[in-house]
Structure 1
């Protein structure tokens, strides 16, 4: 299943940036290498990220994101949206 994870980053102090970002980037890249994260973007106009995830469930996406360093510190929170093919398009090929 695909899940769109829309993350909101709380303002970070310089100390938090030094503590969490060097750990966050490799942990996020590991999810990509594990095939759990397909694409990622920065949010325009807001502090945060958007991830397109390939997971078995929304609960799995939630657990993976809460396991990231910023998630563990409750500095990056996500709205999780299950997504899929636009099924009504099937009516156009009948």
Structure 2
């Protein structure tokens, strides 16, 4: 097996995980340097980074351009209702 074949078989998720690990290590180094320079600068950096992450996640959640999921059909909800009411029948107490 050649190197190209081995690289082609590598799952795509592992490179993303490796990239995430690199970003975590680099950001930890930056925070460590900021705390070494001045404790207030380190705290400010952590607060600003957390606020930015919270802003991005909240903004991503409120995207109104996405279509809502389709409503459940009547037969499916009826099936669930009958399954939940009949699941206790026929069982002995023990």
**Alignment TM-score, normalising by the size of structure 1:** 0.28
Q: Identify the structure with the greater helix proportion.
A: 2
TM-score, structure 2 length as denominator?
A: 0.28
Higher relative contact order (CA 8 A, sep 6+): 1
Structure of higher CA gyration radius: 2
Q: Which structure features the higher share of strand residues?
A: 1
